[in-house]
Structure 1
Amino acid sequence: MNRLNLTALLGLSALLTACPQPAPPSALSDAVVVAGPALSATYQASFQGSWLISGLPAWLTASPSSGSGDVKTTFRINRSAGAPHTADQVRLSTPVKLGWQTPAGAAGSATLTVSADLYHLSGQVSVAAALGQALPTPAPLRVNAQPGPQPSAQGIIVKYKTDAAFAAALRGNGFSGTGLFRAQSLGLNSYSGRTLVVQPQFLQSRTPQSQILQAQNVQAQAQAQATALTALRADPNVEYAVPNAVLRAQNLPTQPGSGQALDVQAPYAPADQYAPLQYAYRLMGYGAVWRDMKTTPYLKPVTVAVIDTGVRFDHPDLAGRLWKSSEGALDLVTSDTFGPDTDPTDPGEAGVDGSHGTHVSGIIVAGEGTFASPCAGCSESGVVGAALTAPIKVLPVRAIDRFGNASESDVALAVNYAAGQPVTVQGVTYTNPHPAQVINLSLGGPISVAEAQPLCDAIADATQRGSLVVVAAGNGGGTQPYYPAACAGAVSVASVRPDVGGLPLHAEYSQSYPQVALAAYGGADPSNPTFNMNLMLGGKPVSDSVFSTSWDYQKNQPTYQFESGTSQATPQVSALVALLLSKGVVSTPAAALQRIEATATDLGVPGRDNDTGFGVINAAAALGAPAVSNVFTLSILGEASTFTPPLDNAGRFNAYLPDGAFQVLAGFDRSGNGLGGEVGEPGAKATVTLGPDQTAVDVGTLNVGP
């Protein structure tokens, strides 16, 4: 029995094998590839020959993108690179080209239409809580509403020439005996002296035939009021008769919940020639800070040590803002012929134009106002630094040699010296007469923890002496910690760049690791420039980099330069620490750091994260600067993308977003940086995470409060 069954099965197998198999197609056809909410989608097709996928947009990759034989490729979706800033597109869809060629030489192409759904975030914004009123839910919200039409006058104000005529009107015998109007007690809104106010609904007009015409609607009221004005002005006993006009408040909207008018001052805009190119200050609220500085004294002197390539003391925009050679400036480089000595003038990096140390110093202390032109065609005002007119000075300490390198020992000595510890170099002992409250290190590298120990020891000693050491997080675009930024006690600063509308976005080059503490604007990557701030220089558009003081070594004259990196973000934090100390908001650098972290604008994952630490510094909030705007905004801030979805008349929004963690901010922008609902501003906040496992979230009602 078993043998017969086995024989029968073998016979069937032979029969199937003998049947002809379908040949692979000689061409590839158009197809639709649907990822839906997934992060990837696979396409496959039988084929003999070679094939190539091309025409991929930025949000789509194919792996592999070419091959021979059967086609099998996986499309990976980067929704952050494709979702529009307005968040109003439900899905991403694109045609890509699948080119093919057979062994016989036939060639052609097919179109693959790849689509991927975006994730849905919905909610509603209400100002009820902010206004302190029992408004219905959902409360209506007008965003940047324009004033409506002027309301109609509310009755007539009449003043009589004599007390007798006024008394006759009050007795109801007609206004001064004319008999044209009858003043009823309910109609007298108010009166004083010989003046009375009559509400429009109580104005009754009498024709010559004594027929009474009661105003029944707005048009009739207006007609009755015009008739009444004509008659009253013709009455010899009436001194004047005028419409009771409705006036509109000319101040900006009231501060929610206060019941008082919000005192909105104009943001301060320096008149220096290139100040409009320095967008980073505006995006961190310096228009409000500098306005405050013009009325509130920043009196306490502060020293920021910039350990770098040295500085050009002869740059006119830094005049009076640097401690000089006789005042503690020092060159500690032992690897070239320019140091060590007391002259940290930047000799220039071999083969590279510009002065890194001068650029960093200018971000902190470049002066406001004009100066004598240092050369033909040179600017007479240049740029400004964050300190503007505050008594903050940079102590230049040279530790980076002419080849762009800095030895650990030189940097460690520089940190010790800047903090006030005596150091001995080649038999000479140096003591800093101006110990720095803040030490700026726009340098670093991906060395090991063990290799970094001398640097970390120096930072620990400086911290013990009361200095705050602020260090660039690194520009490798990866996740390896850079030192000395990752040392315990150091403040590691990451970089953000402006996205559409100036909203902060983690810069692609900025290193990401657990020790990152804060972020500031360091500019766009020059190798992948963005132009979101619409900057123009010499009639040409320029990228979103950071503009500051520099030096032209070819012409040997001062200049200004765009640069990007965590080197540029770091002095933004150092400057803010110095300003908090100068204004007296806090008394120690450690307390300044706590305040900066508490007032920073969080991005992406709530709380501290590896990309931007506690968030992007907010100078206006940290320094308690006055309001310079009162514009309502709704913003969604992610780790890799930002969005500004529209609101309908009831304050509802529907946003279609990529995967990731997002901070939803709704509120009033008081700092003038274009982002409302930050710390110190009336606002509401929600945190959401979207992805294949959570494709839709409704955050409910965001009650904008003070």
Structure 2
Amino acid sequence: MKLPLALLTAALLVTACTPSMPASPTADGPDVNLGTALTGGGTQVSGVSWRVDTGSLPAWLKVTPTSGTGPITLTFTADRAQGTPTTADQAKLSAAVRVNWTQGGASGTSTWNVTADQYVLRGRVVDAATVQGSDVGKGTGVNARAPQDARGVIVKYRSAAAQATALGRLGVSSAGDAALSSTRSALARLGLTTNAGEDLGGRRVALDVTDVEAALEVLRGDPNVEYAVPNAVLGAQELGSQALAAPVVPPDQYAGLQWGFKLLGYGAVWRDMASGAYNKPVTVAVIDTGVRFDHPDLQGQLYGPGEGALDVLTNTANGDDDGADTDPTDPSTPNRTTGGSHGTHVAGIIAARWGTNAAFPGCDACSKSGVVGASYRAPVKVLPVRVIDASGNAEVADVVNALRYASGISVTLEGKTFTNPHPAQVINLSLGGAISVAEARPMCEAVAEVSARDTLVVVAAGNGYSSEPYYPAACEGAVAVGAVTLSGASAPEHARYSNSYPQVMLSAPGGSDAGTTYNGGTLNDKPYPDQIFSTEWDYTKNQPIYDSHVGTSQAAPQVSALAALLLSKGVTQGRGDTLARMTATATDLGARGRDEDFGFGMIDPAAALGAPAVSDTLGLRLQSDRGDAFQPALDNLGRFSAYLPDATFTVTAGRDRNANGIYGEAGEAGAERQATLGPAQPQVELGDLTPAP
């Protein structure tokens, strides 16, 4: 049927003028592979209103923009450090990103699959005391050994098929004695004489060859050979000067929860105390809330009222209502039913007694042994000086008076002069605040004054989650202490709450506020969090307890304890000597050298005090300049492949001699390399890392 021209034309016009509906996104968005790049993106053509479901984004992936209309064009940025597991065994990161869209009355979700390749760091940890791969051969490096140190070679084929192929070339179709015969024949053709051989099973053959170096060179060139190594000569290991000391394990009920001491190698330090060398009395002043002298685990460990202890608080409204006096007991003020005794907790870290405690009246459930302090057998006593009131606050003027008094300078309070009969060699201040330089000036002058008297002032760096200096930690002459916590990997990490700034000098365990449980302990049948356990007080029941806290307040007393032990043993003689020893032996963490997170590093009491070895294991420590630590697996030949984010890494192959699980610290054999990974260098081969014996 023919349509009239006018009608046909009208029909064509109607068709041409009808707008088409914009395409809707499909359920499957484009796949975006960032590869080794830091950023990348894609587009999905549509005519919709859309919004990225940011809840579907993993921590390692950022996206821009997050909403719009029309084509969905997204740019993804990978922060691989946020997605890399401590095991460093994930070669690729992936995420399913949801984009919700609406079009008219319709709606739906488009899923974008985003992947990012990790960067690769490879190497091998080689024990200098064990002959491996290239141990026999030419050269003068740490692996070079003379041929006479081996009696022949041991060869292993890659597989049964590879062995059959290798032997087949020599006209032999079976293993066993045939393998011995054929391998000897192959070497003989090259002028290498074999005197005898032995089938070791598992595709292994032992050969007594006249030229070990030449035989290894030939065999290692054969693609069918998995390895060829010298048949090394081993010697009997007699107990004597090489024997390891046994670490001291405290018997107290909660000592197993004090993971900070293990991390610092105190099992070796406490063993060292059996030598009797720790015989010089040392006083550590704890300028804090005061303490509970009636806590059974602190009996005999404190200087009490009449022995130099002092309460400098003159403001009765915020103190214990009796002004400055010689009783710095942390009081049970009216309505005080929450919060423990901060000073009691700090004092316990330094000097809680070992063994059975005296019973506390009316508390049958109280622990009979509790916790331990770092000082153990050393004659270290704590001098409590109270400056923090019951509400948790301290005034600058009171801190100034406390510093001067603790160091032996007489102070006059409310018309009465007080003189400390036991001047402190070490002063601990687990307090501070984000005040101005001008406001801190009186405290900084006091720090300088007592430092001039050869007193070491140790101060908590602050828990501000920031880079803002806290005072008095940032005062010239003070030792500002940051906090570390367990990472589940080959080294501890910077605690996120611990302030980072240039004056931070040292770090010590302060625990985690993230609920991690890497320490492996249990309390009341539940995993114990990575917090610092010590002596405490229950003001509701008015009785002694034990509890955990987290912060640089807990890190500082561990540095103070080490300083006291150095002085007690006579390793150091005064403030400057002690500080130099602690910084020189600290375990460098994060960026190489001193940095704002860790200072010179985490204190290493075992190294600083020259404690005997209580372990001897070989392992790998891998950490980034951001302070992240990783623990890639080593295979049976010591090889590792670590899949990592973009960063500069310090790789240490070393021995652990103080049983703290950290390899290659001061005084421990170690081989260190650095490598930078990123888009410009996605893969680095480190080769062999061999700690010097």
Q: What's the secondary structure of 1:493's corresponding residue?
A: strand
| 1:344 pairs with 2:324 | no
Choose 1 or 2 for highest CA Rg: 1
Relative to structure 1, is the Cα distance of residues 27 and 381 closer, same or farther in structure 2, using a 3 angstrom cutoff?
same
Q: What's the secondary structure of 1:575's corresponding residue?
A: helix
The CA deviation at 1:515 is 0.8
The CA deviation at 1:312 is 0.5
Distance 1:550 1:73 in 2: 54
Structure 2 gap segments, 5+ residues each: 1-15, 145-194, 200-232
The CA deviation at 1:567 is 0.6
The CA deviation at 1:35 is 2.9
Deviations, residues 223-252 of structure 1 (Å, cap 9, x unaligned): xxxxxxxxxxxxxxxxxxxxxxx9994668
Structure 1 counterpart of 2:99: 98
Q: What's the secondary structure of 2:438's corresponding residue?
A: coil
Q: What's the secondary structure of 1:627's corresponding residue?
A: coil
Relative to structure 1, is the Cα distance of residues 432 and 139 closer, same or farther in structure 2, using a 3 angstrom cutoff?
closer
Distance 1:20 1:480 in 2: 64
The CA deviation at 1:90 is 1.8
Distance 1:607 1:130 in 2: 31
Structure 2 counterpart of 1:488: 476
Distance 1:407 1:460 in 2: 19
One-letter code aligned to 1:88 = D
The CA deviation at 1:81 is 2.7
Alpha-carbon contact 2:87-2:489 (below 8 Å) kept: no
After TM superposition, the score normalised by the length of structure 1 is 0.77
Relative to structure 1, is the Cα distance of residues 623 and 106 closer, same or farther in structure 2, using a 3 angstrom cutoff?
same
Relative to structure 1, is the Cα distance of residues 567 and 71 closer, same or farther in structure 2, using a 3 angstrom cutoff?
farther
| 1:27 pairs with 2:25 | yes
Deviations, residues 181-236 of structure 1 (Å, cap 9, x unaligned): xxxxxxxxxxxxxxxxxxxxxxxxxxxxxxxxxx99879xxxxxxxxxxxxxxxxx
Structure 2 counterpart of 1:552: 538
Relative to structure 1, is the Cα distance of residues 279 and 251 closer, same or farther in structure 2, using a 3 angstrom cutoff?
farther
Relative to structure 1, is the Cα distance of residues 216 and 568 closer, same or farther in structure 2, using a 3 angstrom cutoff?
closer
Alpha-carbon contact 2:48-2:101 (below 8 Å) kept: no
The CA deviation at 1:34 is 2.8
| 1:657 pairs with 2:656 | no
Distance 1:62 1:509 in 2: 27
The CA deviation at 1:68 is 6.0
Relative to structure 1, is the Cα distance of residues 596 and 644 closer, same or farther in structure 2, using a 3 angstrom cutoff?
same
Structure 2 counterpart of 1:383: 371
More moved, 654-663 vs 436-445? 654-663
Structure 2 counterpart of 1:500: 488
Relative to structure 1, is the Cα distance of residues 382 and 73 closer, same or farther in structure 2, using a 3 angstrom cutoff?
farther
Alpha-carbon contact 1:310-1:344 (below 8 Å) kept: yes
The CA deviation at 1:61 is 3.8
Structure 1 counterpart of 2:678: 691
Distance 1:351 1:50 in 2: 53
Query: What is the RMSD computed on CA atoms of the aligned residues?
Result: 2.9
Distance 1:368 1:360 in 2: 16
Match of 2:611 among 592, 601, 625: 625
Structure 2 counterpart of 1:634: 620
Relative to structure 1, is the Cα distance of residues 321 and 472 closer, same or farther in structure 2, using a 3 angstrom cutoff?
same
The CA deviation at 1:664 is 1.3
Aligned length: 580
| 1:563 pairs with 2:549 | yes
Alpha-carbon contact 2:337-2:540 (below 8 Å) kept: no
Structure 2 counterpart of 1:321: 301
The CA deviation at 1:127 is 3.2
| 1:51 pairs with 2:51 | yes
Deviations, residues 406-458 of structure 1 (Å, cap 9, x unaligned): 11111111111111111122222211111111111111111121221111111
Alpha-carbon contact 1:581-1:589 (below 8 Å) kept: no
One-letter code aligned to 1:506 = H
Alpha-carbon contact 2:282-2:381 (below 8 Å) kept: yes
| 1:671 pairs with 2:670 | no
Structure 2 counterpart of 1:237: none
Q: What's the secondary structure of 1:578's corresponding residue?
A: helix
Q: What's the secondary structure of 2:392's corresponding residue?
A: coil
Structure 2 counterpart of 1:530: 516
Alpha-carbon contact 2:125-2:619 (below 8 Å) kept: no
Match of 1:585 among 546, 561, 571: 571
Distance 2:579 2:532 in 1: 23
Structure 2 counterpart of 1:188: none
More moved, 36-45 vs 401-410? 36-45
Distance 2:565 2:579 in 1: 12
Relative to structure 1, is the Cα distance of residues 492 and 135 closer, same or farther in structure 2, using a 3 angstrom cutoff?
farther
Structure 2 counterpart of 1:37: 36
Alpha-carbon contact 1:665-1:677 (below 8 Å) kept: yes
Seq. identity, %: 54
Distance 1:101 1:584 in 2: 76
Structure 2 counterpart of 1:440: 428
One-letter code aligned to 1:676 = Y
After TM superposition, the score normalised by the length of structure 2 is 0.78
Distance 2:397 2:458 in 1: 18
Alpha-carbon contact 1:364-1:572 (below 8 Å) kept: yes
Q: What's the secondary structure of 1:570's corresponding residue?
A: helix
Distance 2:665 2:444 in 1: 34
